[in-house]
Chains A and B, each alone.
Chain A
Amino acid sequence: MDKQRKTPPSWSTKFLAWFLKEDYYEDVQGDLEEEFNQKAQGIGLLRAKRWYTLQILRLFKPDKVKKIEAQNSIEKETTMFKNYFKIGLRNLWKYKSSTVINVIGLSTGIAAFVLIALFVKDELSYDRHHEHAENIYRVTVKNYTTDGDISRQWAFASAGHAKLLKEDYAEITHSTRFYPWAFPDLEYQEQTFRGEPVIFCDPDAFEIFDFKFLAGSEESAFPDIYSLVLTRASAIKIFGNDWEEKNIIGETVSLSRDDNEAPFKVTAVIEDMPDQQHFHFDYLAPIRFVEMIMGEDAANNVGGNYNWMTFIRTNPEADIPKLTEAANDEFWDKYIGNFDSGSAARDFYDFEFQPLLDIHLKSNLEGEYETNGSIEQVYIFSVVGILLLLVACVNYMNIATSHYSRRMKEVGVRKVIGAFKSSLIKQFLSESLLVVIVSLPLAVLLILWALPYLNEFMEKQLSFNPLVQTDIFMGLILLMVLVGGLAGLYPAVFLSKINLVQALKGEQSMNSSKWNFRSFLVTFQYIVTIGLLFAIGVIESQMNFIQNSDPGFDRDYMVTLRLPRGDYSNETFRSELLKNPQIEKAAFSSRIPTGRLADNWGSRFYKGDSAIATSFRLPVVTVDKYFLDTYGIDILAGENFRDGMETDLVQDTMVTGYYIINLEACKALGFEDPAEIVGQKLGYGPSEGRIIGVMDDFHFESLHSPIVPTLFLTRDRYRRISLKIGAEDIRGTLDYIENIFAQFDPESDPNYRFVDDLFNDQYQKEERLGTMIKVFAVIAILIGCLGLIGMVGFIIETKLKEIGVRKVLGASTQNIWMIISNRFLILIAIAFIIGLPVAYWFMSDWLQGFVYRTNISFMLIAMPVVVATLLTLAAIAYQTLKATRVNPVECLKDE
C-alpha cells in the first residue's frame, strides 16, 4: 500500500461540499478522489491537484448547485407559519378568558403608549421646521444683584441689542426683534377690529425664520415702514374667506392707537404659524415704524426695558460659548461702561444666547411669550409610557407561561415529530404576534376615542390617522413587531425548553428553578404598581396641600379686572362700583397676588446717615390704602398708607417715599421685631423716606417660589382693581361690574377673573401632569391586576390536586388561601423594598419644584403596599373560593 496517501486539495473539497447538492456529493467526490489518486501516480501530484480543482470548478453549475437555503425555507416556513397561526387562532378561541385578558391588556397598553408617544413627539418637534433652526438663538439677558447672584433672566432683550450685536460680531449674520407694541385698532373700509396683536419686527425676521408665503414674497414684505404682513387667519378675518380671489395685496388698512392713525398697505400673506412653534403672530409690520415713533434714543437703548424679543441667526461654524464670552466681555463696557453709582454695568448684565430648539422644553424665563412645555414632563411621560408597555408585555408573558400545562402535550408531540427548538420558538413568537395583531385594531379604536380628550386636556392638536400619516403607520407596524417579540420571547424560550418526556407523561411539576424568572416578572409588576401608586399619592397630597394651604391673603369671592381705558379718575370708578351693596371692598394695585413680582429698583438702607446698598432683590408693588384691608392682610407694626403718602417714582427727580415692607423684608434687613424697623430710613430708586409699616407675609407668587422681601408703596398709577364681593347673587354682581366697566370703556372687554381661579391656574401645569399620570398609572395598575388574576387562576389550576389532598386531610378554605397568598406576599415585600426607594427618589425630585411642599407621610408610604396586598389577596380569595368549592373527589379521581 502507498505509505503516504495523497489527498486532494482540501479547500477545493470543502468548496465542493458547500455548493454541491447532497445526493451528488458522496459519489461524485468519491469518483473525483479515485481519479485524483490515479492521476497523482500517473501525471504527478501537482497536475493531479490542478485537475481536481478544475473539475470541481466546472461542476459549479446551476443544475448541480444546492437550492439556495432561503428559497427552500420560505416554502417550508410559510407552510409552517400557516400552521402556527391556525393553531394560535384555535387556542385564542379555546381559552377565551385568557385571550380577553391579554387583548385588553395589550390594546390598552399599546393605546396608552401611542398616545404618550404622540404627545412626546409633538413636544420634541417644536421649532424644528425652520431651515436654520440649529443656528437660531434667542438673546436673553441676565440681571445680577450686587452680590453677584442672578436675580432675573429675561426672555427679552433691550431695543438696541439686536442691531449692535449684529454689527459687532461677524458670526451673527441676521438679527431681528419682535415687539408687541401697544395693540392698535385696525380699520378696513367699514370694519373695525379692536386691539389687534400687531407685532413689529426687523426685515431679517424673514431670513431667520421660515414663513411660508401665500401671497407676496420675502423680498417684497417690507418695502417701506407702512407695510403689513398678514397670516391666513388674519387675512380671513379682515377680507373674508375668499381673500385669495380679492387680490388684497396693496389694500390699505389703518392702524390706530389713541389719537394716532397710520395707513398700512398689505404687502404679503403668510401661512398661519404652525402649532409646534413657541410663538404665534397674526400680523407682522416693520419695526422701523415703532422706532420712528419712539425716537432714536429709545430704539438704541441697551440696558433695561426688556420688551424686545430678539433672535439672531449665526453662520453654521459659529462657536456660541466663545461668542457669548466675547459679547459679555466687550458689549457692556463698550455701550454702557459705568453706572452713575460707579459700578460697572458688566457686573450686572450678561447675555445668554439660547438655542431656539431649547426654548419650548427647557426655557422658563421672565416673560416667556407663550407657556412653554417642560422637559421634565416629557421625561416623566416617556417613563410612564414605557412602563405601561412593559407592564402589558409582562402581563402577556405571565399569562402565556402560566398556561404552559395546556400546551405541554402539543409541544411534546411536535418535538417527537421533529420540531427544532427554533421552530417552537417561532411558533410561540407567531402566537404572541397574533395576539398583538388582534389587539392592534382595538388599540387604534381606543386611541381614536381618547385622542380628543387628550387634546382638549393638554391643549394640543395631535392627530392620529395611520391611513394617511405613513410615519404613524410604520410606527404602528414596528410597535406591533416589537411588542409581539418582546411579549412572546420569554414564553417562547420557556415553552420550547419543556422536557420531552415530562411533557408527554403530562407531569405538571416544574423544576422549581424555572419559577425564578416568572417571579421576577411578577415582582416587576408589583414594583411598577407600588411605584405608580406612590407617585399618585404624592401628587395628590401635594395638590391637596396647595389647595388647602393658606397663601396669607383672602382669595374667596375676590374678582379682579383690568382698569378701563380712557379719561376718568380712579375714585369715580371705585365709587361707582361700590354703589352696589354686593361689592364690599375695592382696591387698586399695579399687580395682584397670584401674579409675578418683577418691577425692581435699587434700594438702600440707612444706618444712621450712611446708606448701605441692600444685597437682595426688593421688588415693588404699588397699592392703594384699601389694598391690605381688601385682601385681609394684617399690619404687624406701624400704619397703613394714608392720603398724601404718594411716592411718585420718576427717573430724574428724587422724591420723598413712604414704604410698607413685608415681614420677610424686615428680617432681610436684619430686624427680628417689626416694631423696631418702623421709622427707619430707606432709599428706593429715585426716592428716599421712612418705613411706615410692616405687613404680614403672604404668597404673592406661587408656592413654587419662596416669599421674597417685597416693598409696597402708593402712587396713583394702577393697572388692576380687586373687588371683594358678597356670596349672594354673584351673577348679578358680575353683570353690574360689566355694566359699570362699559360706561367707562365701551370698547374693551373687562376680562374679569376670580382670584381663586388665578390661584389655581398657577398650578395648572402640575394639575395636568398629575391628572395625566394618575390616568396612565391607573391604567397600568388595572393591566397589572388583570395579569394577577390570570396568574393566580393558573396557579390554583395546577395545584388542584394539592388543594384536594389538603381538603381531604381537613384544611379549611382560609388555610389554603394563606398558603397560596404566602408566595405573593413575599414578592410584594421584595417589590416594596426595591420599588419604593426608586419612586421616592423620583417624586422627591418632583417635589423639589415646590418651595412649600407636603411631607411624605407614613400613610403615603404604606398606602401602595396596602393597596397592592389587598388587591392580591382579593384576587387570590376569589380564585381560591372557586377552587375549594369543588369536591376534592373531582380533582383527585383521575390519576
Chain B
Amino acid sequence: MKEYQLGEFEEIVLLTVAILHEEAYGVSIKEDIEERLKRSVSVSALQTALRRMEKKDYLKSELGEATAIRGGKRKRYFKVTKTGKAALDYAKETRQKLWSAIPDVSYEYVKAWISSGRLPHPGLQNS
C-alpha cells in the first residue's frame, strides 16, 4: 500500500479545498478555515501547504478569472486530485483504525473520577 504523508494543517487545507469544490482559491480557503475552525491562518502558511500538496500531486491548480478587487490579478483555483482523495481516505481510515482500537477500559477510569468528583492524581493517569 502506498504511503500518504499528510500533516495536520495540510489535512485541514485539503479537506477545505474539497468542501469548497469549484470555488477553492487562496482567499476562500483561508476564510473558510478561519470561520469553521476559529483559527487565524497566515497567507504564507496556506501557500506553503497548497504548493507542497500540489507538488505531491494531491492538488492541481489552474488560473481563473481576474477581478477589479484583486487589482486585475487572476485567481488560482485548486482541485483535489485522485491522489489527494486517496490521501484523505487513507488519513481517515488510519484514524478510524486507531479510534476503534481504543479499549473501553480506558474510559472506565475517566467515568469513575468524573462521577466521584475527585481530581485525578497526575501519577495515576496512565495506570
Contact = CB atoms under 8 A, between A and B. Distances in A.
Q: Do A and B bind each other?
A: yes
B73 interface: yes
Nearest to A26: B73
Contact of B75 (A5, A24, A30, A63): A30
Contact of A30 (B42, B48, B51, B66): B66
A35 B41 CA distance: 12
A33 B26 CA distance: 11
Contact of A63 (B25, B42, B48, B63): B48
B30 interface: yes
Contacts of A67: none
A30 B47 CA distance: 13
A28 B26 CA distance: 7
Contacts of B70: 30-31, 33-34
Contact of A27 (B26, B30, B45, B52): B26
Interface stretch (A54-62, A515-523, A579-587, A725-733): A54-62
B22 to A, nearest CB: 16
B112 interface: no
A31 B26 contact: yes
Contacts of A58: 42-45
Contacts of B30: 31, 35
B21 to A, nearest CB: 18
B85 interface: no
A32 interface: yes
Contacts of B73: 26-27, 29-30, 33
Given A34-B27, A35-B30, A28 B47 contact: yes
- Give the contact-size bracket for chain A: 20 to 34
B69 interface: yes
Contacts of A231: none
Interface string B25-52: 1110010000000000011110110011
A108 interface: no
Interface string A352-390: 000000000000000000000000000000000000000
A129 interface: no
B27 A61 contact: no
B74 interface: yes
A271 to B, nearest CB: 70
A32 B44 CA distance: 10
A30 B43 contact: no
B60 interface: no
A61 B44 contact: yes
Interface string A1-44: 00001010000000000000000101111111111011000000
Contacts of A28: 26, 43, 47
A471 to B, nearest CB: 53
Contacts of A27: 25-26, 63, 73-76
A727 B126 CA distance: 130
B71 A26 contact: no
Nearest to B29: A31
A27 B28 CA distance: 13
B73 to A, nearest CB: 3
B51 to A, nearest CB: 7
Interface in B54-92: 63, 66-71, 73-76
B27 A59 contact: no
A35 B73 CA distance: 13
Interface string A61-92: 10110000000000000000000000000000
A89 to B, nearest CB: 41
A41 to B, nearest CB: 10
A55 B42 contact: yes
A63 B51 contact: yes
A59 B26 CA distance: 14
Given A63-B48, A63-B51, A64-B48, A31 B69 contact: no
B121 to A, nearest CB: 43
A33 B27 CA distance: 10
A64 B63 CA distance: 18
B83 to A, nearest CB: 21
Nearest to A32: B43
Given A31-B43, A55-B44, A61-B48, A26 B63 contact: yes
A357 B3 CA distance: 80
A61 B47 CA distance: 11
Contact of B27 (A5, A7, A35, A63): A35
Given A24-B51, A63-B51, A30 B74 contact: yes
Contact of B71 (A33, A63, A64): A33
Nearest to B64: A27
A7 B73 CA distance: 13
Contacts of A30: 26, 66, 70-71, 73-75
Contacts of A5: 68
A196 B70 CA distance: 99
Contacts of A35: 27, 30, 43
A64 B45 CA distance: 11
Interface in B78-114: none
B47 A59 contact: yes
A561 to B, nearest CB: 98
Contacts of B43: 28, 31-32, 35, 55, 58-59
Interface in A307-344: none
A878 B82 CA distance: 78
Nearest to A31: B26
B9 to A, nearest CB: 15
A412 B75 CA distance: 40
B75 A31 contact: yes
A63 B68 CA distance: 29
Contacts of A29: 71, 73
B51 A31 contact: no
Nearest to A5: B68
Contacts of B51: 24, 63-64
A628 B81 CA distance: 120
A34 B28 CA distance: 10
A33 B63 CA distance: 16
A31 B50 CA distance: 13
A27 B52 CA distance: 16
B34 to A, nearest CB: 11
A59 to B, nearest CB: 4
- Residue in A24, A28, A38 whose Cβ sees the most chain B Cβ within 10 Å: A28
Contacts of A61: 44, 48
A58 to B, nearest CB: 4
A754 B107 CA distance: 128
A64 B70 CA distance: 21
Nearest to A55: B43
A34 B43 CA distance: 12
- Residue in A5, A26, A37, A58 whose Cβ sees the most chain B Cβ within 10 Å: A26
Contacts of B76: 26-27
Nearest to B46: A31
A37 B47 contact: no
A37 B71 CA distance: 10
Contacts of A38: 27
A26 B70 CA distance: 10
Contact of A37 (B26, B44, B69, B74): B69
Contacts of B63: 26-27
B75 to A, nearest CB: 6
Nearest to A1: B68
A64 B42 CA distance: 14
A494 to B, nearest CB: 44
A31 to B, nearest CB: 3
B55 to A, nearest CB: 10
Interface of A: 5, 7, 24, 26-35, 37-38, 55, 58-59, 61, 63-64
Q: Which 3 A-B pairs have the closest CB atoms?
A: A30-B73, A31-B26, A27-B76
19 contacts: A24-B47, A26-B63, A26-B74, A27-B74, A28-B26, A29-B73, A30-B70, A30-B73, A31-B25, A31-B43, A33-B71, A34-B70, A37-B69, A38-B27, A55-B43, A55-B44, A58-B43, A61-B48, A64-B44
Given A31-B30, A34-B69, A64-B51, 5 more contacts: A5-B68, A24-B47, A26-B74, A35-B27, A63-B48
